[in-house]
Amino acid sequence: MLQTSTARRDLALGIIVILLLGSVAAGFPQFATPGNLAEVLDDSAILIMLALGQMLVILTRGIDLSIAANVALSGMVVALFNRNYPDAGVVPVLLIAMVSGTLLGAVNGLLVWRLKLPPIVVTLGTMSVYRGLIYLMSGGTWVNDNQMSPAFLGFVRYELLGLTVLSWLAIVATAGAAVLMRYTVLGRDLYAAGGNPAAAAYTGIDPGRMQCISYTICGAIAGLCGYLWVARFAVAYTDIALGFELQVIAACLIGGVAIAGGIGTVTGVVLGSLFIGIIRNALPLIGVSPFWQMGINGLVIVVAAVLSARRREDKRAILETQPA
């Protein structure tokens, strides 16, 4: 019954995204051209990947406010590496980005798991620490496109079947997350750890360990996105992705991920990310200031949190009506 409710919500969100796209296209027909839609997907790709990572954390009753700072720090690490070793190629850059992000995510996970610290406090602290480390590493200077190798910049822009590598990475990440959550023991354990930690512990699942794993995976994705962000925008500096964690959280909440854990789907998160991506690309067309976009994101988070609370009450009511 709960799965049916989740499927219906995903379907409703999908219809809303289509209607939103249709309404924008009605006023600006060029918005719905294949080329522009490919650009919207390209623009939403990093958000999709980060939201999938954040989903894992929220499912286990955590939150990662440091995800954008992880993106920025990992991006600066690979930018400095490429500046000093421009002939190293893309593969070492990808590996360094993912290792950097994984370590930063693991720090969050271990602090939450081993020291039993509140996730919001831990990640709020590491967010500031990671931003500070960027300044120490770079000395406050920028790494610009003229200091980056053509291979470093060109990888994300390479096109295959009409889509960039950046878009394909988002598609692969979506498929991988769907397989992980639907067909693996780890996926089921993550749901169980967030849905009912006491019952999960009784069956041998350590909720704290699941939180640590989710933070680590989220960190690895953020590390990869750090390189993708720097390569796409061709610049690395201290304030990269500043405030982007709000859009990531909003995408999860719009997609139906319950802030109390245990509920959420890959489909919903992707649709939530596309919803934000369409709005973000449509607002400039109708002359809305970028400053209003921040306010809209905040409003979306509040509304989605209220709906998430209602879903939690619905879930509780469903469980109470089921026979023991």
Mean pLDDT, consecutive 10-residue stretches, the chain (324 aa), reads 72 88 84 86 94 96 95 96 92 96 97 94 96 90 91 91 93 96 94 91 93 97 96 92 90 88 90 89 74 70 68 54 50
The predicted pLDDT at position 313 comes to 60
The whole-angstrom distance between residue 178's C-alpha and the CA centroid of its chain comes to: 15
Other Cβ atoms within 10 Å of 19 Cβ, number: 10
Q: Select from 2.60.120, 2.60.40, 1.10.3470, 2.40.50 the CATH code of 2-321.
A: 1.10.3470
Cα angle value 34/291/300 (rounded, 5°)? 70
The predicted pLDDT at position 324 comes to 46
The predicted pLDDT at position 316 comes to 55
The predicted pLDDT at position 140 comes to 83
Q: pTM surpassing 0.75? A: yes
The backbone torsions φ and ψ at residue 141, rounded to the nearest 5 degrees and listed phi first, read -90, 160
The predicted pLDDT at position 118 comes to 94
Query: What proportions of the chain, in percent to the nearest 5, are helix, strand and coil?
Result: 80, 0, 20
Give dist(CA 307, CA 180) in Å, integer.
26
Q: Which residues of 216-239 are buried (b: 16+ CB within 10 A; e: fewer)?
A: bbbbbbbbbbbbbbbbbeebbbbe
The predicted pLDDT at position 183 comes to 93
* Tokens 């799965």 found at: 3
